[in-house]
Structure 1
Amino acid sequence: MMLSAIVALSLTGSAVMAQEDDHSGEGEARQLTLDDAPVQSEVMMICRFGTECYEAEACAASGFEADLIGLSGGMSADALVVQAMFRSDAGNVELIGLRAPEAMSLSGGQLEARHLLTVANSGAARYTMHYADGPMVISYLGTCTPKDGASQ
């Protein structure tokens, strides 16, 4: 039951209700969150993007930086649900997604401004913002590395 709840969390980004496994229909419902996952780890990264690409224009140098702070959890380290805050001078956005040994892919934001962050195991990172107004896209190329004292 816990695995299905964690998978549901990855799809909805919110707590889910689960009943005890007695199948009698009288089990007490409880909320399952990342805090209930048997495998958990903090997400604490600094992302530095040296290149910015605006819509169809040529890419240019950038000094954009952001922190990624959150929690990952799941049944095993091979597939973890991630809920994190992407914090920068431009603002904060909650990102939700999956983390595996080879990569992490997170997305979030509002309908008018969607955010996607992909980080390879090597640390190579791509961050894009997709805006409905225009529409337009801004892409950043760089790296995300563990903050001092954090494990990746």
Structure 2
Amino acid sequence: MFRGKGGLKPIPLMVLALGAGPATAFPCAFSTECYEADACTGTSFAIEVDIDGKGISTDYGDLTVVAVKETGRLTTLFATGQGAEYLLSLTPQAARFTTHSNEGPLAITYLGTCEGAF
């Protein structure tokens, strides 16, 4: 209920449902790094995702989100910046962040989770 002219009025259900979707800004933390064909190692790499702001912030610089695809409980973001292309795939249980360097080819994959994304 909200108070407008004439007293209390019901809030339409559509307004109440706005907060039910996935979050648009959230942190991701990665505990495993896999560099090309080398053995995976531990890491403490983290990023901050802002879907509405179309950006991903890292310790190495900011990336621009160029596309977002949502399929059920899978969200995939495509980003560019810093001489590479980036792919972030996440579900409520896990996240994968892959860097594809424009020099090389060279790929680095990070394994972790994104808190509060769902």
TM-score with structure 1 setting the length: 0.57
Query: Does 1:62 find its partner at 2:33?
Result: no
> Is the CA contact 1:129–1:138 (under 8 Å) kept in the aligned structure 2?
yes
Q: Distance in 1 between matches of 2:22 and 2:45?
A: 26
Cα offset, 1:107, TM superposition: 0.5
**Matched positions, count:** 98
Q: Distance in 2 between matches of 1:101 and 1:84?
A: 21
Q: Distance in 2 between matches of 1:119 and 1:41?
A: 11
Gaps of 5+ in 1: 1-38, 72-82
Moved more, 91-100 or 135-144: 91-100
> Is the CA contact 1:106–1:117 (under 8 Å) kept in the aligned structure 2?
yes
2:85 maps to amino acid:
R
Q: Secondary structure at the match of 1:56?
A: coil
Cα offset, 1:130, TM superposition: 0.4
The equivalent residue for 1:108 is: 79
Cα offset, 1:84, TM superposition: 2.7
Choose the corresponding residue for 1:117, options 83, 88, 104: 88
Query: Does 1:44 find its partner at 2:25?
Result: yes
The equivalent residue for 1:86 is: 56
1:97 maps to amino acid:
V
Share of identical aligned residues, percent?
Answer: 31
Identify if the C-alpha distance between structure 1 residues 67 and 110 changes in structure 2 by more than 3 Å, giving closer, same or farther.
closer
The equivalent residue for 2:7 is: none
Q: Secondary structure at the match of 2:38?
A: coil
Stretches of 4+ aligned residues off by more than 3 angstroms? 39-42
> Is the CA contact 1:123–1:145 (under 8 Å) kept in the aligned structure 2?
no
TM-score with structure 2 setting the length: 0.73
Cα offset, 1:99, TM superposition: 2.2
Choose the corresponding residue for 1:140, options 106, 110, 114: 110
1:99 maps to amino acid:
E
Identify if the C-alpha distance between structure 1 residues 111 and 52 changes in structure 2 by more than 3 Å, giving closer, same or farther.
closer
Gaps of 5+ in 2: 1-17
Query: Does 1:53 find its partner at 2:34?
Result: yes
Indicate the structure (1 or 2) with the bigger Cα radius of gyration: 2
Identify if the C-alpha distance between structure 1 residues 101 and 135 changes in structure 2 by more than 3 Å, giving closer, same or farther.
same
